[in-house]
Amino acid sequence: MKTSTKKMFTITALCGFSFVFGAFITQKLENSPITVAVVNEAEKLIGIDFKDAQADSMLNGLTDHRKAYEELRKLHLDNSVVPALNFNPIPVGFVYPDKSSGFLLDKRSITQMPADKNELAFYSIRQLADLIRTKKITSVELTKFFIQRLKTYDPKLLFVVNYTEELALKQAAQADAEIKVGHYKGVLHGIPFGVKDLLSAKGYKTTWGSVPYKNQQLDVDATVVKKLEAAGAVLVAKLTLGELASGDVWFGGRTNNPWDLKRGSSGSSAGPASAISAGCLPFAIGSETLGSIVSPSTECGDTGLRPSFGRVSKTGAMALSWTMDKLGPITRSAEDCAIVFNAIQGIDPQDLSTISAPFKYDGNQKSLKGWKIGYLKADFDRGRGNKSSDSSTLIKLKELGAELVPIELPKLPYNSLRFILETESGAAFQELVLNHKDDQMVRQGKGGWPNIFRTAQFVPAVEYIQANRVRTMVIQDWYEKLKGLDMYVAPAFSGNLVLTNLTANPCVVLPNGFNKQGRPLSITFMGQLFGEGKILEAAKIYQDATDFNKKHPTLNF
């Protein structure tokens, strides 16, 4: 074996995670001695210099480490196995924004069936629920209606991985039978929905959008799916995600934007965002690790909620980053987000990362008078293509009674913490690297997952831990800066997106205008940790005073 190859293996060992270049080389690892010269080369990767005598003293320890890595790899860890380390985003001195739990929807008049049944496609959950409750339409009829719309538009939009039609019709019939005898469960009873195909459902494939897993079937219902079904909702489809939760390209092609078929829907919650925008479902469940609800909701003009980390169980969901993954609803309004979130939030004994926290929402509020709302002044001043619409949002919030308070992002280097996600994803999918199945994935560029997973094998365990220590500082700093605010607003894409996915703060992304090409623009309403109630209330008040979320694409294709 060439010396350069030996050096690469040693570099890997020094970096805390070992990297396998092939079955042959794996078998020969024990015959590749770690030498002082190899340690000297490895130093270039970690940026630390050791004297030769120090390097020589490390050799036995490094060799032992490598043997340990090889032994542990033989276990072939399943993606569902979580680390014996639990991320807690709660800062020192934290006080929950909501003192108690409560959920109130605003009062509405009775909904009537539209003259044109196709208009049901863009009705809210509340409107559809009213029609079902008053028996103007059955759940079976509504379920068939949305399944047909999915099948009509999927050939162009590519947002469905698999239909759960048999299950859906059974659940819808059960909902109708329950409602008929007066056992009405609430606003989600009989309402069709879809889930991003990183959530498992018994009897159906869970592909994670990726070639190596396209035939995978997990014999478990995700907790989120079980909670929605317990509320009476009807699962009709597993929806696309960019391969292993990145982008909008999956093994079946690219999921497209209903506003412009030349553009992808963005991702990775590609299918949920596209399907909701096209009026093919009332709501869907997406996920976010670093923008996967915010980005596609922006692209497709939806309203999406990224909850605080720990609010929603991830049991039965693909793990990408154990400390950053979050599940949340994509809908057409803040009120719909509140309805779905209320059903799925809460602790789960099977998910030790879930945190018990009060959730209080009152949909009857009409004014922001007395609210102190921060805004990222530098980001609003800098602007991009959104500057006009974002400024108009600030004006509208002030008109609605809010006091606006300029704030700044932390000075700490939070952007340098992104490799936390990459390291965890490299661990979650190390098996792909070890067995070379990463070669089967669709995107093979430098920025694609295969290369990120490979690169992650070289991250020093010490540096990963140090990054998480800095993360603790960032969480505390941001908590102190937000004290006294009910919430704050931020452009959809800025340093705030990276920051708050690390600090675990929740956000509602909602449309606030259109660009020159007629595509939607968005803004984010950001909350205190576990402050979903406030941002959902504010988003509803804003949407009641505007009509951006009521617009939808013409679908002339």
User: CA–CA separation, 212 vs 440, rounded Å?
Assistant: 7
Asked if 242 and 232 count as a contact pair (C-beta separation under 8 A), the reply is no
Asked if 325 and 79 count as a contact pair (C-beta separation under 8 A), the reply is no
User: CA–CA separation, 124 vs 508, rounded Å?
Assistant: 17
Beta-ladder partners of 287: 327
Beta-ladder partners of 163: 237
Sequence-separated (6 or more) residues with CB below 8 Å from residue 117: 145
Chain Cα centroid distance, residue 318: 11
Q: Is 540 a catalytic residue?
A: no
User: CA–CA separation, 287 vs 314, rounded Å?
Assistant: 10
Of residues 18, 268, 277, 295, which has the active-site annotation?
Answer: 268
Sequence-separated (6 or more) residues with CB below 8 Å from residue 449: 243, 244, 246, 425, 429, 438, 441, 443
Of residues 196, 226, 326, 534, which has the active-site annotation?
Answer: 196
Of residues 124, 266, 292, 353, which has the active-site annotation?
Answer: 292
Sequence-separated (6 or more) residues with CB below 8 Å from residue 152: none
User: CA–CA separation, 452 vs 429, rounded Å?
Assistant: 10
The angle, 0 to 180 degrees and rounded to 10, between the axes of the packed helices 125-133 and 165-180 is 50
Chain Cα centroid distance, residue 69: 31
Q: Is 196 a catalytic residue?
A: yes
- Angle of CA points 75, 81, 82, to nearest 5°: 125
Q: Is 297 a catalytic residue?
A: no
| Buried/exposed 128-154: b ≥16 CB within 10 Å, e otherwise | bbbbbbeeebbbbbbbbbbbebbeebb
User: CA–CA separation, 57 vs 54, rounded Å?
Assistant: 5
DSSP output for 373-414? EEEEHHHHHH--TTHHHHHHHHHHHHHTTPEEEEE---SS-G
Active site residues: 196, 268, 292
